Amino acid sequence: MWGSSFSLSVVDKFVFREIVDNNVHETLDSLNVSLLCHKYELDQVTTLNIISLNGARATYKIVVKTKQPAIFETLVTDNETGNLEFGEIERGDRYGTSTYCTKKTHYTALCYCKE
């Protein structure tokens, strides 16, 4: 089933909100740069593929585009207990100087600087 596509209506939209709201924003909070960065809002899910099935456990690759110009991608594992496990979130687009405000503290490509 490597790379099989699923209809977005099959997967709970909570997953996508979780990626943006919790994982990205928690990372920015943990680096103490959240006050410097815009809060992201989900625009669309551009990719959702199942990449691994193992019994009741499934791993998905998800790519999300936000209203602030950013693309994030990660692996999400839906394990046998119903809990979602998120892999490291990576920036999937060119972000140029939009992350400049974090250079003095904890540089992160996840930030889209307010100023």
Q: For residues 19 and 43, is the Cβ–Cβ distance under 8 A? A: no
pLDDT exceeds 50 at position 3: no
Residues 21-58: tens digit of each pLDDT: 778 888 899 999 999 999 988 888 888 888 888 877 88
Range of the domain at 58: 4-102
CATH number at 97 reads 3.10.450
CB within 8 Å of 48: residues ≥ 6 apart: 5, 6, 8, 11, 60, 61, 62, 63
What percentage of the chain's residues is helix, strand, coil (to nearest 5)? 25, 35, 40
pTM of the model: 0.77
Report if residue 14 sits inside a domain.
yes
- State residue 16's pLDDT score: 65
| 110 belongs to a structural domain | no
* Structural domains in the chain (count): 1
CB-based contact 67:41 (threshold 8 Å)? yes
Domain membership of residue 115 (yes or no) is: no
Residue 24 domain flag:
yes
pLDDT exceeds 50 at position 1: no
Euclidean distance between CA atoms 83 and 106, whole angstroms: 30
